[in-house]
Amino acid sequence: FEIAAAHTLASQVGGHAGVLTTEDGSLIIKPALALEHQFYQQAAADPALAPLQRWIPRFYGTLRLEGRTGPGGEIEIDGAGSTGAAVQKDEHLLSSAGSLVLENLAHAFARPNILDAKLGTVLFDEDAPPEKRARMEKTARETTSKQTGVRLTGFQVFDNATRAPVNTPKAYGKSLAPADLPAGIAKFFPIAAPAPVAAFAFASDSTPAVPSPSRSPSPSDASPPTTGLPARTLLPILSAIARDVRAVRAALAGVEMRMVGGSLLVVYEAEWARAAAGVEWLAAHPDGKPGPPYIVRLIDFAHTRLKPGEGPDLGVLQGVDTILRLLQGRMAEVQ
């Protein structure tokens, strides 16, 4: 197929700048290092990565954009005889200007709430120079990464009144202490009435987070808040997301690799009617639309390497365990 125009991805909440989306929004075009391209190729063919295939974005190939920037910020394809920006699957064609073409995980949602949670206790690649290694070790110590294996990189939550997304930038996630993580998760999963946030306790750097007993009242579903879903809709979505995160953990535990800078991406529907219809889908499991009101995927593999014989990435698993405990704590609050 061909891509005639592309725009900046408005819903990007983490990662490096420069990600584009196609005119219809169904695909993203992501500048990538050769190592990430190699990972997606391996994931399709290498049995060692088979457990992860369900949990990564669909990969369509690589692309070279040739054109100019139009008045609306879109990339227009140049000139007479141009056939557009063609997707090519030959690895030899990927250069410093090459990009990956992936499914846009938020495309199916009317109002996508999106969370990028960076996984792992190690934030530097094995070939990082000493100064970057020292800088990344400092970042891990000063944020939640070292102690919990996860950092809330960024997220967006739709405002029901304005029908526009409210973005929470990277600085927020970097400012959190481990005990503040439940507040961050509550901010991403708001409900119709206030609910108290559980405290977190950490026994040591190696102990995953454990929420204290919930003290939440039953939230009201009477009227839409500025952000958030009714509790009766949010709770089954949280439960289903937690189920998928457990499955992601099982998949990661079966793969001998090191994932540096990778993230868990969570998207769920913020539009009330579509979210409620999605919950009905979850209860009945029919074929067809509207489909599940959420999606969970692993993303960002620019520094991911297979490591046969070295076991799974324990820092990444610790991060997933922390996310599971955060989800369990939030479910207790919503109940």
Predicted confidence at residue 260, as pLDDT, reads 97
Q: Which residues of the chain have pLDDT under 70?
A: 1-18, 64-97, 193-225, 285-291
**What residue spans define the domains of the chain?**
2-103, 112-334
Predicted confidence at residue 120, as pLDDT, reads 98
Give, rounded to a whole angstrom, the gap between the first and last alpha carbons of the chain: 47
259 closest CA partner among 66, 43, 95: 43
Angle at 156 between CA 40 and CA 5, to 5 degrees: 55
For the domain 112-334, what is the CATH code? 3.30.470.160
Name the pTM for this structure.
Answer: 0.81
Q: What is the β-pairing status of strands 210-211 and 200-201?
A: antiparallel
20 beta partners: 8, 29
Q: Which residues contact 81 (CB under 8 A, 6 or more apart)?
A: none
66 closest CA partner among 47, 79, 53, 52: 79
User: In one letter, which amino acid is 319?
Assistant: G
Predicted confidence at residue 59, as pLDDT, reads 95
User: In one letter, which amino acid is 7?
Assistant: H
Predicted confidence at residue 66, as pLDDT, reads 53
146 closest CA partner among 170, 177, 180, 187: 177
Predicted confidence at residue 51, as pLDDT, reads 96
Predicted confidence at residue 153, as pLDDT, reads 93
Q: How is 107-145 classified by DSSP, letter by letter?
A: TT-SSEEEEEEEE-S--S-TT--HHHHHHHHHHHHHSSH
Return the H-helix or E-strand segment holding 26.
Answer: none
